[in-house]
Amino acid sequence: QLAQLRRLGQADAQLDIYASPEQLAVYGESLDLPQVTLKQWVPMHELPQIFAASDLVVHVESSQADVAALTRFSLSTKISQYMMASRGILAIGPPQLASMQVIEQAGAGVVVPDLSTPSNQAQLAEFLSDDDLRRQCGLQGHAWASRWCGTARRADFAACLAEAAQRDPATLRAAA
């Protein structure tokens, strides 16, 4: 899809994929394209520099029914990292997954189920070519992550856990 958009002059895109050596060995050959650069994972402290140098970030979820069923309520920590970096997110995967819904509801990016239809391809082309849209998504994502994933929220959660740890287990009830 990136190659097609480049040919049409709709996007001057380069995709850097960071993955484990094992993943690169399995998928590397199928991603051997001029606009794709495969890189090994980097230490956490290097991520802010990588995010800052990026126009957007990409989050992909499997559309295979069995995998999607397992990840339906999963929210990768990468999503809050992407949001805190103030970068618009291109999310590709089933829109009913929690990760996709958070990105969409926060206004942090665009969710494209797949790239097989002309309308989804047009949505991708618009996001890749519209700097203002990506910037706005990045700001909205940052605001959402600051509210829900920031230091104060983590402190509240830690206090809640500490309080629960002090309680008599016989008085605890499962959350509904």
CB 121 within 8 A of CB 1: yes
- pTM for the model: 0.77
pLDDT tens string 5-42: 555 455 567 788 888 999 889 888 887 777 788 899 99
pLDDT tens string 57-103: 999 888 888 888 888 888 888 899 999 999 999 999 999 999 999 99
DSSP states of 50-88: HHHT-SEEEEE----HHHHHHHTT---HHHHHHHHTT-E
R_g of the chain computed on alpha carbons: 19
